């Protein structure tokens, strides 16, 4: 039986508005966590629409315009929070799994995915940036 090589979905765009501080990342993480659901084992992933780093071991990825996931990786994951580009592996062809996949960044460094939480992104947008 032939093994399939892992697929990588790569984002070469800069995250968010450019240079973020730890404080900005923490504020954004707090907002995303407010709308994050219970952990899921996996999600469908055909492409990476956009992404945002929200901490040393956390990244939000959008596989589509209105669908977002908060991904936590195993610590430590040195340098992830300042990365300019990331990739997400998909060893099961277009399914990202918390059991098998990784976030890859800066010169091939990898951190295993620990947890995936879907974000109710449509509600988050509807509530606006100042929703408490």
Token pair in block for residue 115: 């947890």
CA distance linking residue 84 with residue 97, whole number of Å: 23
Cβ 80 vs Cβ 73: under 8 Å: yes
Average pLDDT over residues 58-78: 94
Domain boundaries, the chain: 7-127
pTM for this entry: 0.83
Cβ 41 vs Cβ 17: under 8 Å: no
At 61 the pLDDT is 95
| pLDDT higher than threshold 90 for residue 4 | no
For 14-66, the pLDDT digits (tens) are 334 345 788 999 999 999 999 999 999 999 988 889 999 999 999 999 999 99
């Amino acid at each position: 039986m032939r093994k399939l090589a892992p697929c990588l979905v790569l984002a070469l765009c800069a995250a968010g508005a450019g240079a973020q501080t730890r404080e900005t990342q923490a504020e954004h993480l707090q907002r995303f966590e407010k709308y994050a659901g219970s952990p899921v084992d996996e999600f469908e992933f055909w492409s990476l629409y956009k992404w945002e780093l929200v901490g040393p071991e956390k990244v939000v990825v959008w596989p589509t315009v209105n669908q977002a996931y908060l991904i936590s990786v195993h610590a430590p994951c040195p340098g992830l929070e300042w990365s300019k580009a990331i990739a997400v592996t998909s060893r099961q062809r277009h399914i990202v799994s918390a059991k098998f996949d990784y976030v890859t960044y800066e010169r091939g460094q990898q951190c295993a995915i620990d947890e995936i939480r879907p974000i109710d992104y449509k509600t988050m947008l509807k509530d606006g940036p100042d929703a408490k």
